[in-house]
Amino acid sequence: MGRSNRLGLTLTAVLFLAVAALLVSGCDLVTPTAVPVAWPDTPSPSAPTAVPTPTTPPGPSVITLTWWTTEAFSPTQAITSGQILARQVVTFEAAHPDVRLQFVLKKPYGKGGILDFLLTTGAVVPDLLPDLALLDVDELNIAVQAGLVQPLDPLLPADLVADLYPFARQACTFDGRLYGLSLWADLDHLVYNTGKMTLPPNSWPGVLSGQGPYLFPAGGQAGLVNDAFLIQYLAVRGQADGPFLEENSLAAVLQFYRDGLTRGILPANLTGYHTLADCWRDYLAGQAPLTQVSAHLYLADRSRLQSSAVAPIPAISGPAAAIGRGWVAILVTSDPARQPLAAAFLRQLMAPETNAAWNRAAHSLPTRQAALALWDAADSYTPFVQQLLQTAQPRPLLANYTQVAAALQQAVEAVLSGAATPEEAAAQAIENAQ
């Protein structure tokens, strides 16, 4: 190539570089605004396949265990029992980093209550059922019959189950399987004014020869007889075979009511007392020297009581066995991966220290003997309630309980109003319950 040609190419290159420098410097030029481009979702065939950048593998998915419960058993409660439960939740989640506990509040009873939601949800959208639920022990059999509850036997240690008070274990056992775990209990006993009587009565003769008024709820609730009557009736009837309602036993209890009324031991307005709270209110107001009360009410007000002591409920020939009440935790989920986790939380809640502390704070009674053993042994109430818990019995499990309880309440009202003799009312109750 000639020298002139090389010189021409050189000048052309220099000129090109000068123009390029001018464009880059932006001298007297406006830089265009960038406009985002909508790229197609699928790259062209010639585009290279993107290789993902290596990242840390994702952690295991979190399992959320849902518990349908009531406000009284919720970690959101500001009171001490709620704080204790909240600490247990924190402890459990720390020990199980991949598990979260979710408490969903429901009404305790009726339409929109826990049992109602379990039944309706289980029938329509079973996938929305919780893993755990809280139930009144008297409603447990309905949930079991509906197939909503899983047995707990294989998931709980034998020593925990054996340590439950007999009534708490019996009330949750169906066909030899344990379907509920009693978290706390309540039962009735007597409270008397030590300034008005030296010793409380321990049998019907003691009641009828003593002083009154003696208060207990005889008015029934929602037309159904109270535990006060059932406690007396079971003390008379005992464990006899045959139909639950036995005429002579019924007549005996109704006669006791009639005798107490005619002697002025029972107040004329006894059927106006529908709940234990009604009786407790009047006892605290000094309107009666002795009353039947629940352990829960007594514990809640004990610190402000003066000149009061406790005793078992007097029955036909001695102290009566109380009827144990309470709330139980049930296992709803059938998922084999979730069941052990749910049971692990129940075991943690039933540890003696936890069960004892929660029940003290909630003014309720432990269902484990090892838990009550952690209450103050120097407190006279501890051995007293220990004996009551040991001898307590569950509410009778009757297929037609509502019908029977309604018939019994009608009999009580007929006798106390003078509309029927005890024998007439007993016979009518048996007929109405059929």
Q: How far apart are CA 386 and CA 384, in angstroms?
A: 5
Given a cut of 70, whether residue 153 has pLDDT beyond it is yes
Q: How far apart are CA 217 and CA 175, in angstroms?
A: 34
Look-up of token digits 């039947």: 292
The three-class DSSP label of residue 104 is: strand
In the chain, where are the structural domains located? 63-179+325-391, 188-322+397-432
CATH of region 63-179+325-391: 3.40.190.10
Indicate the residue type of 84. I
pLDDT reported for residue 365: 98
66-105 residue pLDDT tens:
999 999 999 988 789 999 999 999 999 999 999 999 999 9
pLDDT reported for residue 79: 82
287-306 residue pLDDT tens:
999 999 999 999 999 999 98
End-to-end CA distance of the chain: 126
Q: How far apart are CA 422 and CA 420, in angstroms?
A: 6
Mean pLDDT of 50-73: 71
Given a cut of 60, whether residue 32 has pLDDT beyond it is no
Fold of 188-322+397-432: D-Maltodextrin-Binding Protein; domain 2 (3.40.190)
pLDDT reported for residue 28: 36
Please name the helix (run of DSSP H) or strand (run of DSSP E) that holds residue 331, with its range, or none.
Answer: strand 323-331
Beta strands in 14-62 (DSSP E): none
Given a cut of 60, whether residue 21 has pLDDT beyond it is no
DSSP 8-state secondary structure symbol assigned to residue 196: T
Look-up of token digits 């924190």: 90
Q: How far apart are CA 393 and CA 402, in angstroms?
A: 19
Buried b (16+ CB within 10 A) or exposed e, 236-266: bbeeeeeebbbeebbbbbbbbbbebbeeebb
> In this structure, what are the phi and psi dihedrals at residue 44, rounded to the nearest 5 degrees?
-65, 155
DSSP H stretches of helix in 135-212 = 140-145, 158-163, 166-171, 204-208
Q: What is the mean pLDDT of the chain?
A: 88
Domains 63-179+325-391 and 188-322+397-432 equal at CATH topology level: yes
CB-based burial label for 301 (10 Å; 0-12, 13-18, 19+): middle
Mean pLDDT of 261-279: 97
Given a cut of 70, whether residue 255 has pLDDT beyond it is yes
Does the CA dihedral 256-260-265-270 come out positive or negative? positive
Please name the helix (run of DSSP H) or strand (run of DSSP E) that holds residue 188, with its range, or none.
Answer: strand 188-193
Sorting pLDDT into bands at 50, 70 and 90, what band is 60? low
Sorting pLDDT into bands at 50, 70 and 90, what band is 53? very low
DSSP 8-state secondary structure symbol assigned to residue 303: G
